[in-house]
């Protein structure tokens, strides 16, 4: 499991080789549900969509299948939206590239949105060089006892500031429910 350097959020570390091998196999077999939040430029036309745009690891290498599900959590103002992204494959910069392909680059993504746009957003939001991509949660079965694990990483104060008061009290969140698929959270009660 890895996160791009400017991405914040949940990470899993193994304490020994057996656990590392088991976790690696779960990630490789797509048995881990990963949920990301991103603040993006613009308002998507619909409330949910899927991107299946293939991704190349290198410019001249063959394309690899890539699949990401997206959902609009909030339209923040006239020019920003909070998006939930659930990658079904694990390609390099997959979420960032799929959002760019959809015409909604992540705010502060210097690599894909460009330096001038990212600098302008950093100045407007007071966020400096921050990229607004957050690994919100991971859900998988424990490698040895079979219990379902749900790991959540709260967003930081700058992320909350940019999103405004969209979720009420961020400290009062519903507890995760054990199920094969993550429940649809009631974002309005947060």
CA distance 35 to 69: 10
Other Cβ atoms closer than 10 A to 104: 22
Catalytic member of 4, 16, 47, 165: 4
Strand boundaries in 88-132, DSSP class E: none
26, containing H or E segment = helix 17-28
| Catalytic residue status for 4 | yes
CA distances from 71 to 35, 41, 124 (A): 11, 14, 25
**Catalytic residue numbers, as ranges:** 4
């Amino acid at each position: 499991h890895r996160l791009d350097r400017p991405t914040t959020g949940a990470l899993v570390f193994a304490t020994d080789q057996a656990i590392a091998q088991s976790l690696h196999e779960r990630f490789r077999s797509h048995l881990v549900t990963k949920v990301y939040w991103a603040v993006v430029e613009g308002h998507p036309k619909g409330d949910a969509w899927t991107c299946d745009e293939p991704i190349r690891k290198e410019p001249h290498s063959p394309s690899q299948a890539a699949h990401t599900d997206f959902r609009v959590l909030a339209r923040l103002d006239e020019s920003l939206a909070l998006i939930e992204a659930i990658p079904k494959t694990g390609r390099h910069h997959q979420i960032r590239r799929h959002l760019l392909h959809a015409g909604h680059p992540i705010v502060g993504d210097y690599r894909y949105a460009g330096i001038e746009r990212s600098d302008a957003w950093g100045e407007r939001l007071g966020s400096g060089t921050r990229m607004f991509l957050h690994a919100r949660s991971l859900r998988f079965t424990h490698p040895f006892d079979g219990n379902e694990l749900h790991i959540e990483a709260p967003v930081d104060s700058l992320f909350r500031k940019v999103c405004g008061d969209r979720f009420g009290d961020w400290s009062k969140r519903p507890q995760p429910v054990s199920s094969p698929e993550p429940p649809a959270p009631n974002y309005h009660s947060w």
